[in-house]
Amino acid sequence: MRALVNAAAGRAAPAPPSAAAPVFHAGLEGYHPTPLRELPAIAAELGLGAVGLKDESARLGLPAFKILGASWATEQALRAQPQTTTLVAASAGNHGRAVAHEAARRGLDCRVMLPARSAPARRAAIAGEGAEVVVIDGDYEQAVALAEAEARRPGVALIADVGAGDGAADVIDGYATLFSEAAVQGTFDLVLVPVGVGSLAAAAARFAAQAGARVIAVEPERAACLAASLAAGRPVAIPTPGTAMAGMDCAEVSLAAWPDLQAGIAGVVTVSDDEARAAMRELAALGLRIGDCGAAPLAGLRALVADSACAALREAVRLGRDTEVLLIATEGATDPEAYARAVTAA
């Protein structure tokens, strides 16, 4: 499936964005809004009014946006469980590093569960933050289950970006900061956001509902769990044979995110690993060091504009010469060796 129009979009309203999380983040040492990069040549080539890229390659000392959700969710967990001594999380890489970074900032222990196909560079980055790294002989969903079991121990708090619990909901709230910054930096008719479990996309849906914009989710063609769920009208699990877009290598959406996804996502575009790598090279040529997941929205935009399989979705979001587009570039080169291979490939 190259593209899907969400027939349920607009039947209900997404929840409002958190007002408290942006205030919390603004008080953290080292906080500053990440930049919005204007891409006028791409806008002109694609026949659009404007294309801007929200560059999350440097966020609160880390090369990805995930620290926004992890730090806010940790704040809420510690308010509820002040006796906590250890944070635990499951991750494909960026979320785990963010939780480990936040644990170190607060003087807490941390344990992160990673699937077997997680990249060595991402494992090392998490360990470098001082966390215990547990690589399981299984996939991301099995890592999630193990983290949930670990959190039943006394003094342990689960910082999860997937699930039905308060923690996963807090992560969505934390991502409101990214979009509150974007609202000050520009105006947008259309937002393209990469999707793994859907927490960031849920935050995008909340923002767009207030801003009068539309949101398209971009997924790997080999891990399109949101597209499958929207088509089914309910969350469903899919097989995931693997993708270079490691942070989006997810078999099912977060239940905490699902209501906002169903209500507020206009549709989905899927992209291949090769298309994401081509977008990485295109952005690198512009001086922007963006990883696979972060480059996926640009690949999705190119497909939306040019691919006949996206015609119904183009019409649904009213894509045209005046459309102002926001791309959410969620990460920098979080796996430097893989990034170097991708951007130097012929």
Span of 45-49, 118-122, 153-157 with lowest mean pLDDT = 118-122
CA distance 190 to 234: 24
Domains for the chain: give ranges and CATH numbers. Answer: 3-64+171-344 (3.40.50.1100), 67-160 (3.40.50.1100)
88-124: pLDDT as tens digits: 999 887 999 999 999 999 999 999 999 988 889 999 9
Condensed to tens digits (0 to 9), the pLDDT of residues 282-304 reads 999 999 999 999 999 999 999 99
**CA-CA distance, 99 to 119, in Å (whole number)?**
17
pLDDT one-digit tens code per residue, 157-198: 999 988 888 899 999 999 999 999 999 999 999 999 999 999
Q: Tell me: pLDDT of 140 over 90.
A: no
CA distance 115 to 35: 32
pTM: 0.96
